Amino acid sequence: METTLRGVGVSHGVAIGEVRHMGTAVLEPPAKQIPAQEAGREQGRARQAVDAVAADLMARGNLAGGEAQAVLEAQAMMAQDPELMADVDRRIAVGSTAERAVYDAFAAYRELLAGAGEYLAGRVADLDDVRNRIVARLLGVPMPGVPDSDHPYVLVARDLAPADTALLDPSLVLGFVTEEGGPTSHSAILARALGVPAVVALPGAVELGEGTVVAVDGSTGEVFVHPSEERKTELTAAAAERRAALAASTGPGATADGHKVPLLANVGGPADVPAAVAAGAEGVGLFRTEFLFLDDSERAPSEEKQVAAYRQVLEAFPEGRVVVRVLDAGADKPLAFLTPADEPNPALGVRGLRTLLDHPDVLRTQLTALAKAAEGLPVHLEVMAPMVADRADARAFADACRAAGLRAKFGAMVEIPSAALRARSILQEVEFLSLGTNDLAQYTFAADRQVGAVSRLQNPWQPALLDLVALSAEAARAEGKSCGVCGEAASDPLLACVLTGLGVTSLSMGAASLPYVRAALAKFTLAQCERAAAAARVADSAEEARSAAQAVLSGE
């Protein structure tokens, strides 16, 4: 008998297939004592296992490229954390085996993360994955991970580590469902980049039996268990209709009545550029530059290295617009040479622009490198600062850009509610705004983007979040300047229409979402989008907002 479960749809498409569960987690190693003379050998085993796991994560990152590479490199750094390794050595010195020392050291660090505020608590899943990989290697048992299968399947897990998501084979993994996670978690972002249908934050997902047939709708968040033939036919037909609409939709982004809405791509480095170009991106709305700084946590990359990497991306979009976000370090992207290690709540501490203003030489080098990378190219370069809180922040960033001789537009990201509330003031110092809806939701609702238990508050359809978007867009319109969205909200085709109705002037997203958004915009006029936006804003919940907008656009 068919039953319906509801989670959060995070990656478009439909998948119908049998459930296969993620490989089980490593068992807790026995707590047995070793003779003192074996301590050196055990410490060597521990270091070899740690180095091997870090190398494996780096190799997976190199294969995956783009955003996945940055995430996996961060995990590799986590594996080799000097303080963690020192703790492992201490535990072995007093009699623990290598595997037990690793298990206990990671457990202690896990408690610190879990109690250090919700933002860092979101890194616990990544930490657990690193621990499991090291312990598995020490015990000589198979790594936890994606199951082996000769036939396509729907992957089900409590949560998916980035290392697993990054190298999913779309020809075998039809889609995935997780019990934890949220719409802006690492795995959700990587799923969209892969074009794999996915639903997260689904209560009871891990209780689905191995081999159970399910139908996953990554757009609505619905998972149909034992779907009827009628349901399969309905979902398959809807998916075919969507594919046909995508194939027919080409060219620049615009509404049905010709109102232009440039559709840009979010890229995490040069590896993401080919997919963006193939999807018809009109430029880059968010070029994340952290990938360069994660290679070496002890020092910033040289100006020459930065120039070469930036130029690769700029050259791919002649005459196009490329919006570069300067380094966003801190919180879940700590760098030893920049960010303090003892902040009680890093998400609310020194991160983003605050970090760069404390290290003006790092900011100056990056801005100078961007200026040199753009020399002689017809590209329209724009540079923006993350985590701008007020006009003083915006002024400091604009002054730094001018001092570096940067011939580009200077902008500010709206990720803090104060920036949305005082957007017009900030626009006295900069030339454009870009809404990072992931962090804006996180700070508006005090809801960590990595925690499944608060995923309803991370839903970009929340009316309060739409109000902040509207405030920012209205301020930009009044100042005759632009206001784009580069957060994951832009990747939802229906929400893209609402954002357009709110006055947003451009939308930036992962390359895989561009065709969906282009096709959706082409179906409706600007007036229809405006009516849908108004209907969504008067709702009292995210679900009601989406339903209200859908009703307007479907003519109900």
DSSP 8-class letter at 455: G
- Report which of 65, 432, 71 is spatially closest to residue 270, judged by C-alpha positions: 65
Q: Where are the alpha helices (DSSP H) in 249-294?
A: 273-278, 290-293
Q: Which one of 12, 359, 483, 486 is the catalytic residue? A: 486
Q: Are strands 222-225 and 3-6 parallel, antiparallel or unpaired?
A: antiparallel
Judge whether 226 counts as a catalytic residue. no
Cross-strand pairs, 265: 284, 509
Residue 388: strand, helix, or coil: coil
Q: How far is CA 491 from CA 159, 282, 399, 497, 504, in A?
A: 22, 15, 33, 11, 14
91 contacts 103 by C-beta, under 8 angstroms = no
Residue 474: strand, helix, or coil: helix
Phi first, then psi: give them for residue 458, nearest 5 degrees: -90, 0
Residue 156: strand, helix, or coil: strand
513 contacts 280 by C-beta, under 8 angstroms = no
- Report which of 276, 293, 290, 364 is spatially closest to residue 324, judged by C-alpha positions: 290
Q: Which one of 186, 401, 483, 497 is the catalytic residue? A: 186
- Report which of 112, 138, 142 is spatially closest to residue 127, judged by C-alpha positions: 112
| The pair of three-digit structure tokens given for residue 391, joined into one six-digit string | 């006009």
Judge whether 259 counts as a catalytic residue. no
Cα(110)–Cα(121) distance, integer angstroms:
8
Give one word for 399, left, alpha or beta, with left for phi > 0 and alpha for psi -120 to 50: alpha
Catalytic residues: 186, 486
